Amino acid sequence: MEQGTANSAMSKLELIRIALDTSPDGWKDHLESIRSMMASLDFSDASQGESQREWQLSVLTVFQRVVHVGIDNEGSDVQDIMEWCLKQSLVLIHFYPEDVTLLALIGENWLLRAQKPLLNIHQEEQSSVSSGDSQYPMSTSVEAQSQTESAKFEAERRLDAADYVEARALLLPAVEYLKRAVAAARIQNKITGVLLTKAAEAYMSLGNVSSIKVNEPYFRAALLYLQEASRVPDYNLPAHLQHYLEDFGPVALG
């Protein structure tokens, strides 16, 4: 990239970053600038040293922040940006295989991709629960046990549904890259509560869409990450994850 173009891109990136910090609801205002930058950026050349690496990671971090906000707002406007971020990240990982930020970005990208099928699953399960409650307003202990067994059978049956299959396919690389990010962060003394929490969320999501025959290790890994995150100085777990840890933890190492 020519120096003038690079300087312009850096200025745009900084403006987007500041705007996201101050007014995240305005994320759509930045899509045109991001797409313009995407058209001129190519990360296939990693020969320009550490400063270039930091710049590339800054671009991916800011762009993926916009993707995250867009996904949270059920926006389909960010699919191309999400694809671009993953493509460029996978190029860079060949040059920097132990970079914590890059590994985490790739893991988060896969986790973001899984949000649509996970949302569909959540809505379907909520609908099933509501239907079940209205169908069986009162029941004896025998009936309740029968309903529990029926619910378990139905939960296992749903695992072959398209949304479950898609979610697992997307969450497997998410947990793999986030696990690698945590491992690299420990070695490099760069561990953060945010990274541990993100890894825990990925494992919890994978456990929720997997068979009870195999999902116990996923939930255990999630609890271990949450325990570690809760001990990181100056970091507080999100309230719902703190409650989850209190309800199901602690878990012994080993």
Q: What is the pLDDT of residues 202-249, one digit of tens each?
A: 999 999 999 999 999 999 999 999 999 999 999 999 999 999 999 997
Domain assignment of residue 185, yes or no: yes
Domain assignment of residue 172, yes or no: yes
Residue 45 has a pLDDT of 67
pLDDT-derived band at 189, boundaries 50, 70, 90: very high
Q: Do 161 and 217 share a domain, yes or no?
A: yes
Cβ contact 62:20 at 8 Å: yes
Domain assignment of residue 123, yes or no: no
Residue type at 100?
Answer: V
238-254 pLDDT, tens digit each: 999 999 999 997 887 76
The rounded percent of the chain whose pLDDT value lies above 70 is 85
Residue 148 has a pLDDT of 56
Q: Do 74 and 148 share a domain, yes or no?
A: no
pLDDT-derived band at 150, boundaries 50, 70, 90: low
HEC-encoded secondary structure of 3-47: HHHHHHHHHHHHHHHHHHHHCHHHHHHHHHHHHHHHHHCCCCCCC
Domain assignment of residue 191, yes or no: yes
Distances (CA, A) of 78 to 63, 88, 158, 165: 10, 15, 29, 23
Cβ contact 218:245 at 8 Å: no
Statement: residue 135 has pLDDT above 70 = no
| Residue among 165, 174, 149 at smallest CA distance from 210 | 165
Report yes or no on whether pTM surpasses 0.85: yes
Number of domains in the chain: 2
Q: Do 147 and 90 share a domain, yes or no?
A: no
Domain assignment of residue 195, yes or no: yes
Please give the torsion angle defined by the CA atoms of residues 171, 27, 41 and 15, in that order, rounded to the nearest 10 degrees.
-130
Q: How far apart are CA 167 and CA 162, in angstroms?
A: 8
Query: How far, in whole angstroms, is CA 115 from its chain's centroid?
Result: 8
Domain assignment of residue 133, yes or no: no
Domain assignment of residue 128, yes or no: no
Domain assignment of residue 79, yes or no: yes
Q: Which domain covers residue 67, as residue numbers? A: 1-96
